[in-house]
Amino acid sequence: MDSVVSDATAVSETPALAGIPAQPGPEDPVLDTEEGAQDWQLDHSRAPIATKIVVAGGFGVGKTTFVRAVSEITPLQTEALMTRASEDTDDLTATPDKLTTTVAMDFGRITLDNDLVLYVFGTPGQQRFWFMWDDLVRGAIGAIVLADTRRLTDCFPALDYFESCGLPYIVAVNHFEGTELFEADDVREALTVPAHVPVVIMDARKRYSVVESLLAMVAHALDATPE
């Protein structure tokens, strides 16, 4: 016990208060806390605008990949291994190599501008997890509905949901390799998406493509609810 006390005293000549660590002396190196910081982080007179966007769509359409590709932090993922218990409900015809599925949500963050930070939430795709959507969309400025042209009907529940709750949304067609590439107008017609709703073609694996989709969503949300 004596050795512990002597070691603590050697760190600083001023005894530390209970629960408060001793402060470094003048000769101790001090970390540069401003290194790598954003402009808005150093300007305490203003704070960034934090917004929330939801990414929804059918099972295996690429929501987890979307969030992972764009997040500037290690994304929160709630992936679980798929088992034989889901064979009768989860169709793997289009994605035979899929081994895991999202059982709660995906979460990531991206700074689009000095004053704009987006928090991106990915919803689970299976119907048995839809009860979580009401909580995930609360406070969101808009949503991105991911679509796969091989199974467009899978995104109808998401389209109906956002139409019914009045949340601005766009449709982002995630183009998979080896599949036919359709024009945005063709997808709009197939899904009967209203003319004012943007439809974009993108690749959920590529960061720049995901960023463009997010920018389209933000712009549409501002047009729909400018206040």
| Top-ranked range on mean pLDDT: pick from 62-76, 82-96, 126-140 | 62-76
197-207 pLDDT, tens digit each: 999 999 999 99
Confidence band for 15, pLDDT divided at 50, 70 and 90: very low
Contact at 8 Å (CB) between 146 and 67?
no
| Top-ranked range on mean pLDDT: pick from 6-15, 26-35, 74-83, 142-151 | 142-151
**For the whole model, what pTM was predicted?**
0.68
Of 74-83, 127-136, 157-166, 215-224, which gets the smallest average pLDDT? 74-83
| Top-ranked range on mean pLDDT: pick from 12-26, 59-73, 183-197, 213-227 | 183-197
Task: Give Rg (Cα) of the chain.
Answer: 24
Comparing 207 with 2, the larger pLDDT belongs to 207
Helix 63-70 vs helix 207-224: crossing angle, to nearest 10 = 100
- What is the full DSSP assignment across the chain? -HHHHHHHHHH-SSPPPTTSPPPP-TTS----TTTT--HHHH-TT--PEEEEEEEEESTTSSHHHHHHHH-SSPPEEEEEE--GGGTTTS--SS-TT--EEEEEEEEEEEEEETTEEEEEEEPP-SGGGGGGHHHHSTT-SEEEEEE-GGGGGGGHHHHHHHHHHT--EEEEEEPPTTSPPPPHHHHHHHHT--TTS-EEEE-TT-HHHHHHHHHHHHHHHHHH---
Confidence band for 186, pLDDT divided at 50, 70 and 90: very high
